[in-house]
Amino acid sequence: MNLVLFGPPGAGKGTQAKVLAERHGVPHISTGDIFRAALRQGTPLGLDAKRFMDAGQLVPDAVVCGMVRERLRERDAERGYVLDGFPRTIAQAVAFDEMLSADGSSIGKVISVEVADEELVRRLTGRRSCPVCGAAYHVESAPPKVAGACDACGSALVQREDDSEGVVRKRLEVYNAQTRPVAAYYQDRGVLQRIDGSGSIPDVLDRIEKALEDGGR
Ligand code: AMP
């Protein structure tokens, strides 16, 4: 399965991509996760990306594309992948086409998960996670039993720096200006399917699986 999960920040792409990748036996490749891991390790890539991430801006295309090119060459990606958070600009989409054709392959399916802006702000600003075990929460829709503490291990929950309201609004602005046009790019090529990203996680997952079946790829 070669799948690109497309959509604004907060649409639930990461959550869905993780489940889909496990179900279909392919790696989940999230450019945001790769940057955050690089940052935790203090590598130059991570430190460089941090400046852009903290400001809600996109990391430069050349950096992202080089990183994805390398990641797709890893062995586990031979059987396919679920890409989450890439491509985010037309230049990245063009570079991605070039990477694929260099390998004698072409774009698989692109599923766009659509959610209204105000709902995205609510979801992102309420998001919390456990820095120790990775459990995810939302202050309104999935609160921990004790406010601010992880149900599983009791650690203090944290908020991603770029989930503060000011940065969230900037990320949505950047999405609308630079990333939304990528959907039209794929629509013109006949590979885009739009699905409703509102409602529960299992409902959205069902819609994605149906879209995958309908396309038969
Ligand atoms: P995400 O976890 O996908 O929301 O990504 C977090 C941040 O990482 C974004 O706000 C960008 O600063 C950066 N980032 C992730 N993927 C890309 C990409 N494909 N192009 C540029 N920047 C990216």
Domains in the chain: how many in total? 1
Task: Give the range of the structural domain holding residue 79, as residue numbers without chain letter.
Answer: 2-115+170-213
CA 206/CA 71 separation, integer angstroms:
28
List the one residue out of 141, 82, 123, 113 whose CA is nearest residue 204.
113
Would 30 be classed as within a structural domain? yes
Known catalytic membership, residue 189: no
Known catalytic membership, residue 23: no
Would 198 be classed as within a structural domain? yes
Q: Whose CA is nearest to atom 19 of ligand 1?
A: 86
Would 155 be classed as within a structural domain? no
Residue 215 confidence (pLDDT)? 61
Q: Which regions in the chain score pLDDT beneath 50?
A: 216-217
Q: Match 């990333």 to its residue by tokens.
A: 179
Q: Match 């819609």 to its residue by tokens.
A: 207
Residue 217 confidence (pLDDT)? 43
Q: What is the CATH number of the domain that holds 71?
A: 3.40.50.300
Of all atoms in ligand 1, which is nearest to the CA of residue 56? 10
Would 110 be classed as within a structural domain? yes
- Alpha-helical runs (H) found in 10-163: 13-24, 31-40, 44-54, 61-72, 90-102, 117-125
Q: How much distance in Å is there from the Cα of 146 to the middle of ligand 1?
A: 31
Residue 216 confidence (pLDDT)? 45
Residue 73 confidence (pLDDT)? 93
Q: Whose CA is nearest to atom 11 of ligand 1?
A: 58
- Kindly tell me the sign of the dihedral angle through the C-alpha atoms of 16, 20, 21, 23: positive
Q: How much distance in Å is there from the Cα of 201 to the middle of ligand 1?
A: 22
Would 129 be classed as within a structural domain? no
Residue 29 confidence (pLDDT)? 97
Mutate to test the pocket of ligand 1, among 15, 88, 127 (most ligand atoms within 8 A of CB): 88
Give the tokens for residue 85: 């958070």
Would 185 be classed as within a structural domain? yes
50, 160, 169, 170: the active-site residue = 160
Would 142 be classed as within a structural domain? no
Q: By the 8 A CB rule, do 16 and 83 touch?
A: no
122, 127, 128, 207: the active-site residue = 127
Known catalytic membership, residue 160: yes
CA 111/CA 69 separation, integer angstroms:
21
CA 202/CA 16 separation, integer angstroms:
9
Q: How much distance in Å is there from the Cα of 32 to the middle of ligand 1?
A: 5
Residue 103 confidence (pLDDT)? 87
Of all atoms in ligand 1, which is nearest to the CA of residue 89? 20
Q: How much distance in Å is there from the Cα of 130 to the middle of ligand 1?
A: 21
Residue 90 confidence (pLDDT)? 98
Would 59 be classed as within a structural domain? yes
